[in-house]
């Protein structure tokens, strides 16, 4: 029996008819179709690190590299 994606939520009389632009069947990765493209893009944007996160990560990397080289690590603020 073949899987046929439902058209629920995409019917013209449904209040959210234009919300679902892509079918909600699962892709090969098992997650495709769980969220719309807009929601996925929003999640990507809000999960990006801030500049403060980037600076802290750079300080941690510098500290670890100093330890590997046998140098004294600079103190970094968290």
- For 1-34, how does the pLDDT look when each residue is reduced to its tens digit (9 = 90+)? 555 555 554 555 556 555 555 555 666 666 666 7
Q: Where are the domains of the chain?
A: 7-47, 49-78
CA angle 44, 46, 51 (to 5 degrees): 110
d(CA 8, CA 32): 17
Residue 7 is predicted with a pLDDT of 54
What confidence tier does 57 reach under pLDDT thresholds 50, 70, 90?
A: very high
């Amino acid at each position: 029996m073949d899987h046929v994606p439902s058209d629920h939520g995409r019917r013209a009389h449904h209040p959210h008819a234009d919300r679902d632009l892509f079918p909600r069947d699962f892709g090969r990765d098992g997650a495709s179709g769980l969220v719309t493209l807009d929601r996925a893009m929003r999640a990507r944007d809000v999960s990006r690190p801030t500049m403060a996160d980037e600076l802290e990560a750079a300080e941690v990397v510098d500290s670890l590299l100093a330890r590997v080289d046998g140098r004294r690590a600079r103190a970094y603020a968290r």
